[in-house]
A = this chain, B = another copy of it.
Amino acid sequence: MVARTRFDDNECPVARSVDAIGDWWSLLIVRDAFDGSRRFGEFQRSLGVAKNILTARLRTFVDGGILASVPASDGSAYREYVLTPKGEALFPVIVALRQWGEANSFAPGEPHSELLDRREGRRLRGLEVLSADGRPLRPDETEVHKVSAG
């Protein structure tokens, strides 16, 4: 059998998310979509990904309800790919990856792109994991509660 282990029936939400978007290209396609890319060629040039791979990823995203395929806005015969609400909900995921990368994958002073508040032109606040009443939580202050099949 082989084929990759699937996590789409896993009880853990992290596993299901990974199943949906956890490969090399998927998250970067979503990033580009947030950045305004809509056309096949935009994704293709931005990412340098092979066209057949891009085709497959876009289809998976459309099937999964993360992107919607809509008629091109310029009236041409082609399609554009826009984030659905489900896709837009990935915003914190992308921001979390961006902030982690900024803090941990660049040498001091090494240039990198930044995500800015468009109105103020300033960098964003770091994401915080908070309790229901707003206390910042460290990992060890949380625990996973497993569900039983009952």
Contacts and interface: CB of A to CB of B under 8 A. Distances in A.
B86 A104 contact: yes
Interface string A130-150: 111111011111111111110
A102 B131 CA distance: 17
A107 to B, nearest CB: 11
A28 B149 CA distance: 21
A88 interface: yes
21 contacts: A4-B24, A5-B24, A13-B97, A14-B94, A18-B28, A18-B97, A22-B27, A23-B24, A34-B139, A89-B100, A91-B129, A92-B99, A95-B129, A111-B147, A115-B142, A115-B145, A117-B131, A117-B132, A124-B130, A127-B128, A127-B129
Interface of A: 4-5, 7-8, 11-18, 20, 22-24, 27-28, 31, 34-35, 48-49, 83, 86, 88-106, 111-120, 122-125, 127-135, 137-149
